[in-house]
Structures are given as C-alpha cells and as structure tokens.
Amino acid sequence: MWRLLWRVYLFVGILTFLLYGLDKFLAKAEWKRIPERWFHTLTLLGGFGGALIGMHFFNHKTNKPKFKWIIVAALILHSAAVVIVIARLSWF
C-alpha cells in the first residue's frame, strides 16, 4: 500500500513540475496558457512537491500568493491524512 502511495505522489509531483515548465514556455512564447485550476487540482491531489519545486525552478507563478497558500494547504491536508492513516493502522 505504501509503495503505491509513494508512486502516486511521485507521478503527480513530476506531472505538476512538468506542467509548470510547460506553462512557463507557453507564457514566453505568448501562446495559449494552461488554466490555473489545473495547477491547483494537481497540487491538491498530491503534487505539492512538484508545484513547489516547479515554482522556484522555472521562476513561475512566484508572485501569486494564492499558489503558495494552496501548496501549504495541500501539504497540511496530505500530512494530516497520512498521520491519521498511520495512527489507525497502529491501533488495530
């Protein structure tokens, strides 16, 4: 179960990181951009690591506080969920 969970986090994180890079490229080329809801959705699904690294690596969306707050909220929610699952498993 834990291997699957880490693989999902890794996959969603890499996908989120790549999405930040693609959107930065699209912004520089002045082409149609990726909607912000995709960034938020992937971040809340577990891509908070990729989002944080992508923001700083590509220097993209760093001036938008909403993105930082969503990353922090996703990290807190996922951390709490993992702690709750671990606590439940150790009780039984």
Question: pLDDT digits over 48-87, tens only?
Answer: 999 999 999 999 998 989 999 999 999 999 999 988 988 8
Q: Does residue 91 register a pLDDT over 80?
A: no
CB atoms within 10 A of CB 60: 21
Helices then strands, counting H and E runs in the chain, come out as: 4, 0
Please state, in angstroms and rounded to a whole number, the distance separating the CA atoms of residues 14 and 20: 10
pLDDT at 29 > cutoff 80: yes
92 pLDDT more than 70: no
Average the pLDDT over 12-31 and give the result.
96
Angle, CA of 2, 73 and 90, to the nearest 5°? 35
- Residue 90 is predicted with a pLDDT of 74
